[in-house]
Amino acid sequence: MTRRIISTPEAPKAVGPYSQAVAAGNLLFCSGQIPLRPATGELLEGDVTEQTTQVLENLGAVLRANRMTFSDVVKTTVFLTDLGDFAAMNDVYAIYFPSNQPARSTIQVAALPKGARVEIEAIAMADGVGDADADIPI
């Protein structure tokens, strides 16, 4: 299986020793995105709605760098510093995933890098996501 590092200037540079994403076969493993502005690397100040929008724009840039879209995402993990922000985050999330939503976990954490309120990581799969033919009966 071929393994490729995915990197794009359209998303913020990694703030540590990791890649924006790694493609392995037809899977793309996207590192968690926080609401950093790609051009400056500075945290977008604002409420969780504004921060979630920036996070998903960053994630979309990483997906596009591997010729993928949000419809290719099969699993996300959302990290919130306050589960009280769940509804507001969910409203923005629903805009980016309007149908055939991926599986998701949402976790409250004590803190996120740079003081972010939200972080989202994703796994995407090319070719056949959601195809009925891909279902395996059990």
pLDDT digits (tens, 9 = 90+) for 84-132: 999 999 999 999 999 999 999 999 999 999 999 999 999 999 975 444 3
Q: pLDDT value at position 132? A: 38
Q: Is residue 138 part of a domain?
A: no
Where do runs of H (alpha helix) occur along the chain?
Answer: 48-65, 86-96
CATH of the domain at 113: 3.30.1330.40
Residue 76 sits in which domain range? 3-131
Q: pTM of the full predicted structure?
A: 0.91
Residue 136 lies in a domain: no
Residue 34 in any domain: the answer is yes
Show Cβ contacts of residue 77 under 8 Å, excluding neighbours closer than 6 positions. Answer: 32, 104, 105, 106, 107, 120, 121, 122
Tell me: pLDDT of 33 over 70.
yes
Instruction: Decide if 75 is inside a domain.
Output: yes
Give domain status of residue 71, yes or no: yes
- Asked whether residue 137 is assigned to any structural domain, the reply reads no
CA-based nearest residue to 97, from 42, 52, 128, 45: 52
- Contact between 117 and 111 under an 8 Å Cβ cutoff? The reply is no
The Cα-based distances of 79 to 25, 37, 47, 111, 126 in angstroms read 27, 19, 15, 9, 25
Q: How many domains does the chain have?
A: 1
